[in-house]
Amino acid sequence: MSQASSPTHQRTFAQRLRKNYIGWLFIILSVLGISLFYFYPMVQAFLLSLQSGMGSSLEYVGFDNYVRLFNDPTFITALTNTILYLLIQVPVMIVLALVFSVLLNDPTLKFKGFFRTAIFLPAVTSLVAYAVIFKYLFGNDGLVNDFLLGMNIISSPIAWLSDPFWAKITIIIAITWRWTGYNMIFYLSALQNVDKSMYEAARIDGASAMQQFFFITIPLLKPIILFTSIVSTIGTLQLFDEVMNITSGGPGNSTMTISMYIYNLSFEYTPDFGYAATVSYVILILVVILSFIQFRVAGDRD
């Protein structure tokens, strides 16, 4: 008691209080900024999703917009496409990136630096720039068809951009080209921290390269695989730049994504901000659910 009122203790208490107060000053700008530019719009978007009307003449309609989602063929197409991209592109890319990183982690491999830099290079391009390049490469008389025809792999040009099926494939190829090297770098640096003696012990015990990959490499890389797959999932759910610049969502709506539909609803068609906000909540809900599932599936022991 008597100690608590001693002047030195009082001073340190006052100092602590002051430091705590200064600490808040360091973070206040960020708190305000994120509240204004993330949380406030989130609330606004929800309120908007309960309204309907054109432009700025909106009125509350309850959950009508959410009901409308189920009867909106364009929305269902956009949702299906987005999930399709997700289910095919993310696993393909992650497996490719893992294979590259394991091959490049071999200390006896020559030209390692060249291969690593080359495969990573696509990650430095701007999304719009590479999308435009892919649009031309995959055109009807583009270089990809020229090459495939020249090698006698196909007998007539593939309609990469104007066939609903091939247009989706083109988008998937494009995203995989852009992001595989990016993910590979994460796995490579994780592999460099793996204790080499583990592989030695496994070899002595007679484990094949395949067994080493599945029983040592994959479990050890699990946290980073989880991280990259969540990042890729969130990214793919928001896919916009590539689709906009390669196919503009076409032919028809066959490559349309949810983000692009939101953009069209707000700025291309007669603006319907209320319904666009409703669609945008679908992305948010998907991000939350999928991140949660991935954590549950892969991160259970962390």
Partner 1 sequence: MKKLKRVFTYLFLSVAAIVSIFPFLWMLVSMTNKSVDVTAGRLIPGTHFIQNLNNLLDQTQIGTALWNSFLIAVITTVLTLLIGSLAGYGFEIYRSKGKDIVFNILILSMMIPFAAIMIPLYRLFGQISADAPLIGLDTLAAAFLPTIITAFFIFFFRQNTKMFARELVEAGRIDGLSEWGIFFRIYMPTMKTTYAAAAIIAFMNSWNNYLWPLVVLQSPEKQTIPLLISNLGAGYTPDYGVIMTAIVIATLPTALVFFLMQRHFVAGMMGSVKG
Torsion from C-alpha of 284, 287, 290, 291, nearest 10 degrees: -130
Nearest to 168 by CA among 178, 160, 177, 157: 160
Q: Specify the residue, 168 or 190, whose C-beta has the smaller distance to partner 1.
A: 190
Q: Specify the residue, 5 or 20, whose C-beta has the smaller distance to partner 1.
A: 20
Shortest distance in whole angstroms from residue 155 CB to partner 1? 18
C-alpha 4/C-alpha 70 separation (Å) is 66
**What's 249-274 look like in SS3?**
CCCCCCCCCHHHHHHHHHHHCCCCHH
Distance between start and end Cα atoms, the chain = 44
Residue 21: both structure tokens together? 């107060």
Shortest distance in whole angstroms from residue 265 CB to partner 1? 9
Q: Specify the residue, 3 or 21, whose C-beta has the smaller distance to partner 1.
A: 21
Q: Specify the residue, 2 or 108, whose C-beta has the smaller distance to partner 1.
A: 108
C-alpha 294/C-alpha 135 separation (Å) is 33
Shortest distance in whole angstroms from residue 68 CB to partner 1? 16
**DSSP H stretches of helix in 35-105:** 40-49, 64-70, 73-104
Q: Specify the residue, 218 or 284, whose C-beta has the smaller distance to partner 1.
A: 284
Shortest distance in whole angstroms from residue 206 CB to partner 1? 16
Shortest distance in whole angstroms from residue 197 CB to partner 1? 22
